[in-house]
Structure 1
Amino acid sequence: MTKNNKLSLLFAAAALAVLPALAQTPAERSNPLLVPSPLPLQYPQFDQVRDGDFAPALDLGMAQQLQEIEAIAANPAAPSFDNTIVAMERSGRVLARASGLLFSLLGADSNPARQKLQADYAARLAAHRDAVALNPKLYARVDALYQKREQLGLAPDQVRLIERHHRNLVRAGAQLDEAQKTRMRAINAELATVAARFNQNVLAEVNDSALVVDTAAELAGLSDEQIAAAAAAAKARQLDGKYVIALLNTTTQPALAQLENRALRERIYKAASARGSRGNAFDTRALVARTAALRAERARLLGFATHADFVLKDETAKSATAVNTLLRQLAPAAVASARRDGAELQRLIDQEQAAKQQPSFELAAWDWAFYAEKLRAAKYGFDQSQLKPYLELKNVLENGVFYAAGQLYGLKFRQRHDLPVYQADISVYDVFNADGSQLAIFIADMYARPSKRGGAWANAYVAQSALLEQKPVIANHLNIPKPPAGTPTLLTWDEVNTLFHEFGHALHGMFSDVRYPSFAGTSVPRDFVEYPSQVNEMWADWPSVLANYAKHYKTGEAMPRALLDKVLAAQQFNQGYATTEYLSAAVLDQRWHQLGADEVPGADAVMAFEARVLKEEGFDYAPVPPRYRTPYFSHIMGGYAAGYYAYIWSEVLDADTVEWFKAHGGLQRANGDAFRAKLLSQGGSQDAMQLFRNAVGHEPRIEPLLQRRGLVLTPAAKP
């Protein structure tokens, strides 16, 4: 027996040794994480789980799963689908429950105790995953089934499940020699620790970088409600009499579209874009560089030239060449469109300054959103401030998002107030099928808070599985600034679109109808997962849906038809900016992860590398910065590493599917039922691109995307 095998057995034995001791403690007997929640659909017991419950549950969960895996691996019976693959699917329930809840709360409602747990357990959880994935006896059983999978008389989803487990083990390093496995364990442990530090630094830096403003006069352009919210934020920081503008995790900040004070706009932009590279305690450059180097080294261990090659082999894109081709097809047209729009904004600035008899100035990144709103008003006769009174949050959610789901899929929603929540402003809904049967529970967590990470996302607190007899509990998380008490939450159009988008993810999770947990809901390739959610965005401005929710928060009057028509007419407005800021971030992601292990720059060269990439790829247009700069690009330090291109890749499928919906009558139950049955319910149980073909009836076409975004490819760039 090799030294490393001995170490693995010692690790397993040590973990198993905690079982009897833990099982005898009063804390264990009262720990709600160790058994399925007794609440409806196993809804989490947010009011019962204490931070102190996580560590013993994680310890016990890891020990139990190692025991379960060892029993599978050492089974004297010949490998079978049931005694190996199904047993693997059933393993680790306590660990999944405890870690799933912990990491969900770390995103939505972090605190020092949970952050310490994250730091303490990051490397231990990585070692646990390696103890499972690098178990040679387990791999031997799975490989034996994989080699004869077509002769076992199994259903297609069962064959696919064997392939999924085999692929996962190989990609985790199951075929490496012992020395390579040792290095793989070390890399994974360090990556987990670095990722935890990065996430905590980004959250802390967002809070630390909030702008303090001395006078209300500097906030001219903001609404009274926004100014009151800024005053309340300052008071919460014990800065009475001042105003605080909190930052989001994007480069461009919402307030830039409204603030008339150019100097303040510049302060906000520079504070936002400098995050993670200021040389303070929250600087992430060393963490980014180390992560890129470790990922590249791991890819090389597994036989891939780069981390991007490793990731993309398992996506629908299949190769870095395919991704680079798409991004480089779109980039010139997007940047050209942005430059044309920028020239128009510059003319507007020049005219405005001349009218004031003041010197003009060059359009900068902190000016774009402000003057784009002026240009929108001039071109289309409205700006975002005219829309907001018609876009009250609860009305948009219930009479927009839910209404569209009801029309398309027959769903019904009922808010309930008897289930616990981790924050008082969270809403919970039962979701019912058209026949009255319960489909899921939906959690709506809409507001920004200092304890919440940036962005918007969906997650499953309970994933659907027929094998485990589980129905889904799905949450959506946004970061909408919370107004002062007693005032309505009025949304921007982008926030409305995000609400519909994230609910598309929720539908994907709620409609899941698969046997095995590995295939549940959004367990699909990363460059496919955004596709159904982007399709759901189409209903935000669908005339009958918009008319149902776009009603004035005071009077209940519908948005005037003339304003509605202007909104629809302006759909392509500012698309050059939107496409360019996204594509530049996607290109940064690819270039970081297409580096070899010996090519990754050091911490001091991170920003220089970013600047060089943007210049080489044609994105060196200062008024349009990347949506995320490297030091706070949380997507690519997490699950979207070498995968941020997925949004535009998925949008090719999305735009094509929108055309299919329109051609078949739009918001019709027959269309919704077909999309649910052929795609949304299937999770990862079938090939992703086959699901697209099943739903739409043809191969994907890029033309609908180009038309949507108002882009025209040059002849040389056309696919």
Structure 2
Amino acid sequence: MRISRLTRVSRVSRAIAASATLAAVASMSLAQAPADSSNPLLKPSTLPLQYPAFDKIADTHFGPALDAGMAEQLAEVEAIANNPAAATFDNTIVALERSGRTLSRASTVLFSLLGADTNPARQKLQAEYATKLAAHSDAISLNAKLFARLQALHAQRDKLGLDTESVRLIERYQRNFVRAGAQLDEAQKTRIKAINAEMATLSTRFNQNVLAEVNDSALVVDKAEQLDGLTPDQIAGAAAAAKARKLEGKYVIALLNTTGQPYLNQLNDRALRERLYKASVARGSRGNNFDNTAIVARVATLRAERAALLGYATHADYVLQVETAKTPQAVNDLLGKLAPAAVASAKREAAELQAIIDKEQAAKKQPSFKLEAWDWSLYSEKLRAEKYGFDESQLKPYLELKNVLENGVFYAAGQLYGLKFKQRGDLPVYHPSVTVYDVYNADGSQLAIFIADMYSRPSKRGGAWMNAYVQQNKLNGTLPVVANHLNIPPPAAGQPTLLTWDEVTTLFHEFGHALHGMFSNVMFPSFAGTSVPRDFVEYPSQVNEMWASWPSVLANYAKHHKTGEPMPKALLEKMAAAKKFNQGFATTEYLAASLLDQRWHQLKAVDVPTADQVMAFEAKALKDAGVDFSPVPPRYRTPYFSHIMGGYSAGYYAYIWSEVLDANTVAWFHANGGLKRENGDKFRATLLSRGGAEDAMVLFGKLVGHAPKIEPLLEKRGLVTAK
């Protein structure tokens, strides 16, 4: 959906868990260069807040820095494990928190660049270091002497006179080491190591295949008239994309890594829409060099086998034990409760779209056709226009990117939290389209540095996400450097970047993650920023979406990019009336992907299908879950479902789970006066600043004052009366 993040548990397990979590996003190193003082990754950056010196970091620096970082951390861990003194919080836990800083620094920059601006050299590094980092992870988490010290501290944690955050940190370390296999016998540990190494390699291959095929599958169009429905600027952009591929006189429509594609809501040529849709859904399963079906089957098998070795029924049981959902049954119950209402709503929407098709074809005196997945976006825009009197094209002139960011996203943060932003041009960036801002508290003190990377490009993975280059923590005395990444199609040269409403919402959403990272106020790196359960991390960012349509915020940024005129009141009112429009589709496509994720990860190893059965398994899983409605395909199909090959395996449900909390919190904001400093200050102090230092659901309860209720979510998505 809208975020991909590195799972953060502790400094040690963050840096060493590259096998399962980080290597899915990236890994490392090129030809070896001397590991000397000229390597900027071997020491903290001297730029403000340790902002990365992108202009000085070369690809050849990563390998030596990673090798040095792993060696350094292993030496640090060996010293901790073999310390003759009895285990104490300082000589064991704090020492582990301080370890691995070189490795963390180098891996953070590389992982981030692999997502935001990859190249063949970095991809080579990714493949080369996947298994090395997996082995490094295992060397620490399966260290028997180290685990014995953790166990000793865990047994007496309540008698050490520590504060609650420190006790929680002991518990987190002990839990993470157990879940990594620290209590297994030697034969089992050997097998875990082999599984982790193989999964690291497979995850890297999967993600590289997805990116390569997104670029390879771009649609080539021969004639401009086939692009009827696109704006002149969009057609010019497609021509420029073709020229860049040395296809002069043709037009190229780039793909995104979702089932739905840009321009399906505009293209009038039905045959071209069908081509675009089918090019999208065929990715990863066409028997070409990018086919991911064998990787999917193997990874599902390995995950199930590892879960069994660790004492869990399935991979989903393993994953969900540490989430707020706790069990697969809890997830199944929520998804099962929502799916029938969502599909029923989608079918009612489909009937309305079919009626428009029938009426339109009759007016042309042509035979009608059955609504298909490649028709939905176009005809839903026509239905929106018919029902509410506007379509997406009427909104876009009022939604210019820089204005939305600075006078919308930043403005809301200023009103709610007193933040101030100042763009700076003196810090190096890894791509010319990236912008950088200093972020200040209301009292003028610096809070963070914010990096905005908004545009799609062939070197960037799909989707939208937040990451932290530097995390706040009092132990090391660091303040945050955080980044937001979107995939907005770049405009033709000299033209403004005009957003869709979904892109506006995504901008607010991702900044919600950025706020979670920037407001962090914890002692230990393990708990910094978004280091919370996966099914909780989306919650604060979804709350931040509410300000996109808040009247005073919308009025501040929704202004015509040429004239500066505000969006007409009538159009604003129409937007408000259309809030629940197309929610049957949106909910069904999301739930289909979430249910598919659960079906894959609730399998035992013996039940995992073979590569040639992957797509049949997907079809049956959707049918059995009651979400096999062909006009509404899953947001992601299995072979390009990057979320679940990375940190969100058995966790894609997290968005809707978090949305329950979000809907409750939006209701709390409304009940308490909305966009007010008092509300923002409470949200910041009670929840956003605490990271993982307290139990996630305790933080939620402290804020809203009651347990989560599902009714606000049903109301928000217009599913209350759906049958």
1:362 aligned partner, one-letter code: K
Matched, 1:258 2:263: no
Matched, 1:662 2:670: yes
Instruction: Give the CA deviation at 1:197.
Output: 0.4
Q: Which residue is 1:174 aligned to? A: 182
Query: CA separation in 2, counterparts of 1:215 and 1:298?
Result: 52
Which residue, 649, 654, 659 being the options, matches 2:657?
Answer: 649
Q: Which residue is 1:118 aligned to? A: 126
SS in 1 for 2:466: strand
1:297 aligned partner, one-letter code: E
Q: Which residue is 2:109 aligned to? A: 101
Q: Which residue is 2:168 aligned to? A: 160
Query: CA separation in 1, counterparts of 2:316 and 2:137?
Result: 22
Instruction: Give the CA deviation at 1:646.
Output: 0.2
Cα-to-partner distance string for 1:215-251 (whole Å, 9 max, x where unaligned): 1110011111111110010000000111000000000
1:593-608 matches, cutoff 5 A:
593-608=601-616
Which residue, 149, 157, 170 being the options, matches 1:149?
Answer: 157
Query: CA separation in 2, counterparts of 1:217 and 1:366?
Result: 19
Query: CA separation in 1, counterparts of 2:493 and 2:505?
Result: 25
Instruction: Give the CA deviation at 1:25.
Output: 8.4
Query: CA separation in 2, counterparts of 1:466 and 1:316?
Result: 27
Cα-to-partner distance string for 1:320-358 (whole Å, 9 max, x where unaligned): 000000000000000000000001100110000000000
2:145 aligned partner, one-letter code: K
Q: Which residue is 1:29 aligned to? A: 37
SS in 2 for 1:28: coil
Change (3 A) 1:27 1:171: closer
Query: CA separation in 1, counterparts of 2:339 and 2:721?
Result: 9
Matched, 1:712 2:685: no
TM-score norm. by structure 2 comes to 0.95
Change (3 A) 1:500 1:714: closer
Percentage identity across paired residues of the two chains? 75
Query: CA separation in 1, counterparts of 2:176 and 2:106?
Result: 22
Matched, 1:575 2:583: yes
Which residue, 38, 50, 61 being the options, matches 2:58?
Answer: 50
Which residue, 232, 235, 252 being the options, matches 1:244?
Answer: 252
Which residue, 705, 716, 719 being the options, matches 1:697?
Answer: 705
Cα-to-partner distance string for 1:650-692 (whole Å, 9 max, x where unaligned): 0000000000000000000000000000000000000000000
1:584-595 matches, cutoff 5 A:
584-595=592-603
Query: CA separation in 2, counterparts of 1:552 and 1:277?
Result: 44
Matched, 1:382 2:382: no
Query: CA separation in 2, counterparts of 1:623 and 1:714?
Result: 19
Which residue, 369, 377, 383 being the options, matches 2:377?
Answer: 369
Cα-to-partner distance string for 1:194-217 (whole Å, 9 max, x where unaligned): 000001000000000000001111
Query: CA separation in 2, counterparts of 1:446 and 1:685?
Result: 31
1:128-527 matches, cutoff 5 A:
128-527=136-535
Matched, 1:565 2:573: yes
Query: CA separation in 1, counterparts of 2:209 and 2:118?
Result: 13
Change (3 A) 1:272 1:331: same
Cα-to-partner distance string for 1:471-506 (whole Å, 9 max, x where unaligned): 000000000000111100000000000000000000
Matched, 1:675 2:666: no
Q: Which residue is 1:7 aligned to? A: none
Q: Which residue is 1:17 aligned to? A: none
SS in 1 for 2:487: strand
TM-score norm. by structure 1 comes to 0.96
Cα-to-partner distance string for 1:622-646 (whole Å, 9 max, x where unaligned): 0000000000000000000000000
What RMSD in Å do the two structures reach over aligned CA positions? 0.9
Query: CA separation in 2, counterparts of 1:223 and 1:568?
Result: 26
1:711 aligned partner, one-letter code: L
Query: CA separation in 1, counterparts of 2:67 and 2:192?
Result: 22
SS in 1 for 2:177: helix
2:433 aligned partner, one-letter code: D
Query: CA separation in 2, counterparts of 1:385 and 1:712?
Result: 30
Matched, 1:633 2:625: no
1:647 aligned partner, one-letter code: Y
Query: CA separation in 2, counterparts of 1:209 and 1:260?
Result: 21
Query: CA separation in 1, counterparts of 2:300 and 2:231?
Result: 43
* Structure 2 unpaired stretches of 5+: 1-31
2:103 aligned partner, one-letter code: L
**Contact kept in structure 2, 1:349 and 1:361, CA below 8 Å:** yes
**Contact kept in structure 1, 2:401 and 2:499, CA below 8 Å:** yes
Q: Which residue is 1:534 aligned to? A: 542
Instruction: Give the CA deviation at 1:619.
Output: 1.0
**Contact kept in structure 1, 2:267 and 2:273, CA below 8 Å:** yes
Q: Which residue is 1:89 aligned to? A: 97
1:49 aligned partner, one-letter code: I
Cα-to-partner distance string for 1:79-103 (whole Å, 9 max, x where unaligned): 0000000000000000000111111
* Structure 1 unpaired stretches of 5+: 1-23
1:45 aligned partner, one-letter code: A
**Contact kept in structure 1, 2:261 and 2:277, CA below 8 Å:** yes
Query: CA separation in 1, counterparts of 2:240 and 2:479?
Result: 40
Query: CA separation in 1, counterparts of 2:34 and 2:292?
Result: 42
1:631 aligned partner, one-letter code: P
Cα-to-partner distance string for 1:119-154 (whole Å, 9 max, x where unaligned): 000000000000000000000000100011011110
1:52 aligned partner, one-letter code: T
Cα-to-partner distance string for 1:551-595 (whole Å, 9 max, x where unaligned): 000000000000000001100000000000000000000000000
Q: Which residue is 1:8 aligned to? A: none
Cα-to-partner distance string for 1:524-561 (whole Å, 9 max, x where unaligned): 00000000000000000000000000000000000000
Q: Which residue is 2:17 aligned to? A: none
Which protein, 1 or 2, shows the higher relative CO under an 8 Å CA cutoff with sep ≥ 6?
2
1:497 aligned partner, one-letter code: T
Query: CA separation in 1, counterparts of 2:392 and 2:211?
Result: 29
Query: CA separation in 1, counterparts of 2:80 and 2:350?
Result: 62
SS in 2 for 1:459: strand
Instruction: Give the CA deviation at 1:597.
Output: 1.0
Q: Which residue is 2:560 aligned to? A: 552
Query: CA separation in 2, counterparts of 1:534 and 1:639?
Result: 19
SS in 1 for 2:255: coil
SS in 2 for 1:489: coil
Query: CA separation in 2, counterparts of 1:213 and 1:25?
Result: 45
Instruction: Give the CA deviation at 1:423.
Output: 0.3
SS in 2 for 1:29: coil
Cα-to-partner distance string for 1:344-397 (whole Å, 9 max, x where unaligned): 100110000000000000000000000000000000000000000000000000
SS in 1 for 2:36: helix
1:516 aligned partner, one-letter code: F
Instruction: Give the CA deviation at 1:714.
Output: 7.8
**Contact kept in structure 2, 1:262 and 1:367, CA below 8 Å:** yes
Instruction: Give the CA deviation at 1:712.
Output: 2.6
Instruction: Give the CA deviation at 1:523.
Output: 0.3
SS in 1 for 2:373: coil
SS in 2 for 1:190: helix
Change (3 A) 1:52 1:550: same
Query: CA separation in 2, counterparts of 1:340 and 1:128?
Result: 53
